Amino acid sequence: MLKLFPQHIETIYTHAETTYPEECCGIIFGHLTSEGKTVVEVMSTENAWNAETAADFPKDDTLDYSKKQRYAIAPQVMLQAQREARERNLNIVGIYHSHTDHPAIPSEFDRQCAWQEYSYIIVSVQNGKASDIKNWCLDDNHQFQQEAIENKI
């Protein structure tokens, strides 16, 4: 279970709507407990997807490889986030990104690039408006399973 506050969802929605029609992405900081993951902060990052990044992944000619269907967090940004989390006694508990004009369901590409134990929040943005949010986590067979979101008030 991923526990987060309404302001975290608002931050993710605003980021997703302002980057539309491109995908947005960001890092989720929090605490890991036996009862789940509690979000402390979400950090918006730049979508660093580009031709150089795309060259590192298998091509699929049926897809548009622009930022409209892909996202990447730059390695140096991820490294800095790991340092920041360690200094603040936090964990990186997940990643969020948007799907523009598509459902909040992970793609096969999302699954192939996902890391165990992270939560993956996906926001569906339809015609520029955030319309749905879902959270996913990999199981032991590297398949996404929906993970509950507890909206803390």
Q: State the pLDDT at residue 54.
A: 80
Three-state DSSP state, 74: coil
For residues 2 and 135, is the Cβ–Cβ distance under 8 A? yes
What is the reported pLDDT for 153?
Answer: 61
- pLDDT beneath 70: ranges in the chain: 58, 60-64, 152-153
Q: Which amino acid is it at 71? A: Y
Between CA 41 and CA 94, with CA 31 as vertex, the angle to 5 degrees is 60
pLDDT for res 50: 87
CA distances from 152 to 40, 80, 114, 147 (A): 11, 28, 26, 15
Residue 126 to residue 87: CA distance in whole angstroms: 38
Q: Which of 32, 20, 45, 139 is nearest to 95 (CA)?
A: 45
Judge contact between 96 and 123, C-beta under 8 A. yes
User: Looking at residue 65, what is its pLDDT?
Assistant: 75
Report the alpha-carbon distance of residue 84 to residue 90 in Å, rounded: 8
The end-to-end CA distance of the chain, in Å, is 16
Q: How much is the pLDDT for 89?
A: 97
Q: Where in the chain are the domains?
A: 2-151
Distance CA 141, CA 137 (A): 11
Q: Classify residue 57 by its DSSP letter.
A: S
What CATH number has the domain spanning 2-151? 3.40.140.10
pTM: 0.93
Specify the pLDDT at position 55.
78
